């Protein structure tokens, strides 16, 4: 199995996703196998492996990414009253493409 679900399946268009927000360089969509009742994933469209591999040349992209995270989290908080923003690193990171989870509510899986 590939360790980059996002490049291989989402950004390639292989699977359809339910988009929440999109900019030129960033995509936010409802997780295809949600772990929480509300579970949105935010990814850069260009491949970046993780938060730890970001470089200063990625600053503009990172600002754009965080602006989308902020908007998505803002609407989840407005709707649900609470949200968390999380990114996994190292062995905790299943797919080696930078992604942030924005989620709220009960855990529904795992």
- Residues making contact with Zn ion (CB under 5 A): 4, 7, 47, 97
**CB closer to Zn ion, 50 vs 75:** 50
68/101 Cα distance (integer angstroms): 12
**CB closer to Zn ion, 7 vs 51:** 7
Residue 6 Cβ, how far from Zn ion at the closest point, in Å? 5
Residue 77 Cβ, how far from Zn ion at the closest point, in Å? 28
**CB closer to Zn ion, 39 vs 97:** 97
Residue 79 Cβ, how far from Zn ion at the closest point, in Å? 29
Lookup result for tokens 């754009």: 64
**CB closer to Zn ion, 31 vs 97:** 97
Residue 43 Cβ, how far from Zn ion at the closest point, in Å? 8
**Long-range contacts made by residues 105-109, C-beta under 8 angstroms, separation at least 24?**
105/36, 105/37, 105/38, 105/80, 106/36, 106/37, 107/35, 107/36, 108/34, 108/35, 108/36, 108/37, 109/33, 109/34, 109/35
């Amino acid at each position: 199995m590939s360790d980059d679900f996002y490049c291989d399946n989402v950004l390639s268009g292989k699977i359809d996703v339910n988009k929440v927000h999109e900019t030129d360089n960033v995509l936010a969509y409802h997780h295809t196998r949600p772990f929480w009742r509300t579970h949105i994933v935010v990814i850069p469209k260009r491949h970046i492996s993780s938060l730890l591999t970001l470089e200063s040349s990625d600053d503009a992209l990172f600002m754009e990414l965080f602006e989308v995270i902020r908007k998505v989290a803002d609407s989840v908080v407005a709707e649900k009253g609470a949200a968390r923003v999380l990114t996994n690193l190292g062995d905790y990171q299943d797919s080696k493409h930078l992604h942030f989870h924005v989620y709220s509510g009960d855990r529904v899986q795992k």
